[in-house]
Amino acid sequence: MVAARWATRLIGLVSTVILARLLAPEDFGIVAIALIAVGLLETVGYAGVDLALMRPGANSREHFDTAWTIQIIQGLLIAVLLVVVAPWVGQLFSEPRTVGVVQVIALRPLISGFENIGVVAFRKELDFAKDFRFTVYTKLANFAIVVGSAFYLENYWALTIGMTSGSVIAVILSYLMHPYRPRLSLVHVREMWGFSQWLIISRVGSFLNRKTDEVVVGRLLGTSVMGGYHVANELATMPSSELVMPLRRALFPTLSKVAGARDEFEKLFCLSLAAIAALCFSVGFGLMAVAPEFVPLVLGDKWLGAVDAMRWLALYGAFSSLILTLEMPLWVMGRTRLSAAQTWLELALLVPVAFLAAHLKGMEGVAMARVAVSIAVLPVMLHFVSSSCMIRIGRLYGALWRPCLAGLAMYGILAVLAPLVDAPVALLLLLKVLAGVVIFASVLVVLWLVSGRQAGIEEQALRTIVSLVGRRFRG
């Protein structure tokens, strides 16, 4: 799953570099405006039928056929709404060319609705290799089409065609790679809607959560400051999200397989949570420590004003990724309403706190507000998971405290030692990264030993190392 995520990101990066040389910035701007409307409607209209199918008990043909039918209806509704709002989008941004772009992109959800629902079985059956191939093959074929269109058309229609063609390719590959042939059915529509309605509400809340801080910064502090905040947010949260999102994708069907066995479910989720916490806190506190060197080296000196915001946003990325991970057992158990409650509670807290923080401390204050709200919401999610999924609260906190303290210790030690080292920025960044890895791993192991060698990611890591070393000596 991580390989699929990073492979598609790499293909997308290469595509962007090529297209940036063939097309003008104006072309990207026209499509970006159109994607605001497309992204919002696709977020609101996402029914989550793939997740509904991976829940325990959703194994019959009628379940898969119902999911496929809902998927078609969902795509049709989104397509119609996009056609209707296209003129309004053009008027709102004073860019009439976006009208046609939105109307053409409206074909994307309509076509995607007919994608073979059988490919969901790749994840449901934990066959992630096939899921990887399906994702990467689709991206590669789409890459060839969009780059070829850009060479031929040399305008924004190449990007538009690429988005639509991607859906066509996915539909074709879905039927070539999986033998299932769906039929129209609404037998289990009430059951799936009971799961999906709260998931939709949760996704809308998440979408608003992601945009609220940027809206506050842009509204109160101006476009220039908003640009710095946006870039800082993207860079600070990318490592955590790019590691955690594919792990979430694999975790849901895995948990669904053991949902009926309480002890195994608890053990598996707590071990997964501990591993993800180790990733999140090492990356979050690590980025917080290296931000003063990372920003000028990667972005340039003109972005130095974003350093303080990036440090706090890196920490926010760690806590928000943990909250996203805690959604998985709730979704598996059908408690999507609790996930929705968390997202809207976070939004209700964030809006006033962000406005107040912006007035008091500007861009850095808004970033600090994001961290404070995510930390406040984390215990709420832990309580929801414990009470609804029969996982002992002590096991949940036990999965988090050692990685959190290790990350905090790493940041503190680097903050004390860094001023003592006189070195060029690039060398100092490298030294901080290497030292951070050693410090985090060492503190994590020490805390594990002190706490009585409790089952966790430390034990699994040591077993793996011993196994590899033993195999190497035997070889």
pLDDT for position 244 = 78
Q: What are phi and psi of 422, to 5 degrees?
A: -105, 100
Calculate mean pLDDT across residues 49-61.
74
Question: 209 phi and psi, to 5 degrees?
Answer: -60, -40
The region of weakest confidence among 44-53, 108-117, 230-239, 350-359 is 44-53
The Cα–Cα gap between 353 and 122 comes to 43
CB environment 193-204: b (16+ within 10 A), e (fewer): bebbebbbbbbb
Does position 238 have pLDDT exceeding 90, yes or no?
Answer: no
Distance separating alpha carbons of residues 343 and 22, to the nearest angstrom: 41
Helix (H, G, I), strand (E, B) or coil at 253: helix
Tell me the C-alpha to C-alpha distance, in Å, between residue 310 and each of 134, 230, 250, 319, 448.
35, 10, 29, 14, 30
- pLDDT tens-place string over residues 197-228: 677 777 777 777 877 787 787 778 765 676 67
Q: What is the pLDDT of residue 374?
A: 93
Predicted confidence (pLDDT) at residue 406 exceeds the cutoff of 90: yes
Of residues 253, 236, 466, the one with CA closest to residue 371: 236
pLDDT in tens, 130-154: 877 887 778 778 778 877 877 777 7
pLDDT of residue 2: 63
The C-alpha atoms of residue 83 and residue 86 are separated, in whole angstroms, by: 5
Can you give the pLDDT at residue 413? Answer: 94
Report whether 346 contacts 373 (CB < 8 A).
Answer: yes
**pLDDT at residue number 61:** 85
- Place 20 in a pLDDT band, splitting at 50, 70 and 90: low
Per-residue confidence (pLDDT) for residue 165, from 0 to 100: 82
Task: Dump pLDDT digits (tens) for 426-469.
Answer: 899 899 999 999 999 999 989 988 888 776 677 777 777 777 67
* 37, 89 Cβ separation under 8 angstroms: yes
What share of the chain in percent tops pLDDT 70?
Answer: 85
Instruction: Give pLDDT tens digits for 334-344.
Output: 787 888 888 89
Average pLDDT over residues 54-66: 80
Q: Place 409 in a pLDDT band, splitting at 50, 70 and 90.
A: very high
CA–CA distance, 317 with 244 (Å, rounded to integer): 10
What pLDDT, on the 0 to 100 scale, is given for residue 26? 66
Res 195: pLDDT: 65
pLDDT at 174 over 80: yes
Distance CA 174, CA 183 (A): 15
* The pLDDT of residue 12: 58
pLDDT of residue 472: 65
Q: What is residue 44's predicted lDDT score, i.e. its pLDDT?
A: 65
- What pLDDT does residue 103 have? 86
Sign of the four-CA dihedral 136, 137, 142, 143: positive
Q: What is d(CA 410, CA 9) in angstroms, rounded to the nearest whole number? A: 29
pLDDT of residue 411: 94
pLDDT band at 27 (very low <50, low <70, confident <90, very high): low
Q: Where are the alpha helices (DSSP H) in 333-456?
A: 336-389, 393-417, 425-450
Cβ-proximal residues to 382 (8 Å cutoff; 6+ apart), any chain: 326, 393, 396, 397
Reported as a single tens digit per residue, the pLDDT across 78-103 is: 889 888 888 887 887 677 888 888 88
Q: Higher-confidence residue: 359 or 202?
A: 359
**Average pLDDT, whole number, for the chain?**
81
